[in-house]
A and B are shown apart, each in its own frame.
Chain A
C-alpha cells in the first residue's frame, strides 16, 4: 500500500479505487476487499500497513462486501481488534499527535508502542455493520474527493458532526450518561437563546463568521460550551450545520415521501413524527419546540423570521431530497418547507418539557 511510486496523491488513489468499486458492482468490491486483506496480512512495513487499513475504512463508507464475503471480512476485521496485531517499535505517541487524536482514546498504557491496528479494526467493524445495513452509497453522483477526505478524517477524529445520531449518543455516554438528547444540540440551542438570538434580526438566515463557526466546531468537539461566543449567528450557524451534516438525515429517507405528500396535512404530519425512531423523534421534537419559540409573534416581529422563513431555512437541514432532477428538487423544496411549517404550527411539543 503506497509502495509503488505514483504522481497521484493517496486520496486521489483512494478515490479511484472507491469509484471503481462503487460503479462496477459487487464482484469487484469483494475483489478489492480481498486484495486489501492480503496486503495487510503479515505486512511489516508500518506505512504500508497503515495505508491498507485506512483504505479499507474509507471504502466501507461507500459500499459493503457481498453477503457471501461478509462473514470472512467481518472475521478478518474483528480478529485484528486484538492488540497483539499492532505493529511493534513504533512511536504511538507521535502517531497520535500527527493525527490529532488523544493517546488515551486508543490505549491506557502510556508506554504502548505499536501501530494501533486495533484502532483501525474497531473503526472498520463499525463501518462494516453500518454499510451492511444501509447498502452502498446512494444517488448517481460519483464519490468526490471531499467525501474521501471526510471518510479518512473520521478514522482519526471522531466528531459529533457528520456522525449518526446513534454514534453521537454513544460518544456522549462517558460524559453525559443521563442525557436523552444530544449534548451538542441542546448546548448550541441554549446558547443561541442566551445570546439573545430570539431578538436578533435574521437569526438562522444570516450566516455567522465562517472562521468563528469553524473554531466553535472544534471547540464543541472537545465538549466545551461556547462560552466565548458573543454573536448568536455563530452558534445558530453551527447548529444548522450539525443537523445538516448528520450522516443520515434527521428525518430518515424512508419517511421522506410521507413528508412530501402530507406537507399541509397536520394530522398526517404529526403521525410521521410519531413513527420515527425514538432518538430521531426526540431530536426533531426538540428542534420544533425550539423553533416555536422563535415563531412567536413578539420574536418574529424583531427577527423578521416568521414561521415561513424559519421553516425555509430549517427544512433542508431536516430532509434530504434524493433526486438529482432539478425540477423535482425545486418542486419538493417548497413541500419540505411546508412540512416543517406544519410541524411548527401543529406539533404539540409539551412532552419535551422534562426531557434533556
Chain B
C-alpha cells in the first residue's frame, strides 16, 4: 500500500463509524427452518440434519446492497417455548424480523398470531417484519397452507409474504435482499446513513 509509515489512509475511527451494522432476528415455531434459512443465506449450504437451536445461534454476512456494504448479524432464536426468557433479552436493537412458518405444518401457521404478540410486546417499534412460508419445495411433504391463506394473514398484519425453501434455495436470497433493501431505505430516510464509499 502506498502510504506513509505510521499513517493510515483513513482515520480508523471514521472507518468504523462508517460501517453499517444490521441486526436481523428470525423467529417462528421450532422446526420450521429458521436455522436452515440463515445457513443458506450466509453459506449457501443446506444441511438435512436435525438439530434444534439451543437458546440462540448466530450467523454473519457482509452483503452489498446498492453500493453499501452491510454487516448483517442474523440472530437465530430458538423457537421452543422453553427459551422465551432468552429470546426476550435479544429482541432489543433489532432492525428487521423474519417470521417463519412451515407450509407442511398447520400448527406452525396457527402460532403466527402468538409470535406477533411476542414481537409487539418485546420489540415494539420495529417496522421491518416479513413473513416467510418455508419448505415450499415439494420434497418436504404435503403442503397444507396455501399461498392464498398465507397472503391473507400477511396482509391482515400489513407485512410482506415470501415463499422459500432452504432445502432447494428457492427464494432465500430474494427475501433477505428485499428485507435488507427496505432496512437500508428506512435508514436513509431517517438520515442515519454514512456516505456510500
Contacts and interface: CB of A to CB of B under 8 A. Distances in A.
Interface in A183-209: 202, 205-209
> Which of B31, B106, B111: most chain A Cβ within 10 A?
B31
B50 A309 contact: yes
A340 to B, nearest CB: 12
A226 interface: no
B114 to A, nearest CB: 6
A333 B80 CA distance: 13
A206 B55 contact: no
A329 B55 contact: yes
A337 interface: yes
B50 A304 contact: yes
B2 interface: no
Contacts of B114: 210
A354 B31 CA distance: 36
Interface string B93-109: 00000000000011100
B55 A202 contact: no
Contact of B86 (A209, A240, A317, A329): A329
Interface in B72-90: 79-83, 85-86, 89-90
A313 B50 contact: no
Contacts of A241: 81
A334 interface: yes
A225 interface: no
Interface residues of B, number: 24
A202 B31 CA distance: 8
B193 interface: no
A205 B35 CA distance: 14
A334 B55 CA distance: 9
Nearest to A309: B52
Contacts, number: 65
A337 B78 CA distance: 14
B82 A206 contact: no
A211 B110 CA distance: 9
Contact of B82 (A308, A317, A330): A317
A233 interface: yes
Contacts of A333: 54-55, 86
Contact of A209 (B52, B83, B110): B110
A316 interface: yes
A326 B91 CA distance: 12
Nearest to B102: A206
A316 B83 contact: yes
B145 interface: no
Contact of A334 (B54, B80, B83): B54
B86 A313 contact: no
B89 A233 contact: no
B105 A209 contact: no
A207 to B, nearest CB: 6
Interface in A217-240: 233, 237, 240
A123 interface: no
A244 B90 CA distance: 21
A206 B29 contact: yes
B148 interface: no
B52 A210 contact: no
A337 B29 CA distance: 20
B81 A205 contact: no
Interface of A: 202, 205-211, 233, 237, 240-241, 244, 304-305, 308-309, 312-313, 316-317, 326, 329-330, 333-334, 337
Interface of B: 29-31, 50-52, 54-56, 79-83, 85-86, 89-90, 105-107, 110-111, 114
Give the top 9 A-B pairs by smallest Cβ distance, nearest first. Answer: A304-B50, A316-B82, A209-B107, A333-B55, A206-B31, A205-B30, A326-B89, A202-B31, A205-B52
26 contacts: A202-B30, A205-B30, A207-B29, A207-B30, A207-B81, A207-B107, A209-B110, A210-B111, A233-B107, A240-B81, A305-B50, A309-B51, A309-B52, A312-B52, A312-B54, A313-B82, A316-B83, A317-B82, A326-B90, A329-B55, A329-B89, A330-B56, A330-B86, A333-B54, A333-B55, A337-B54
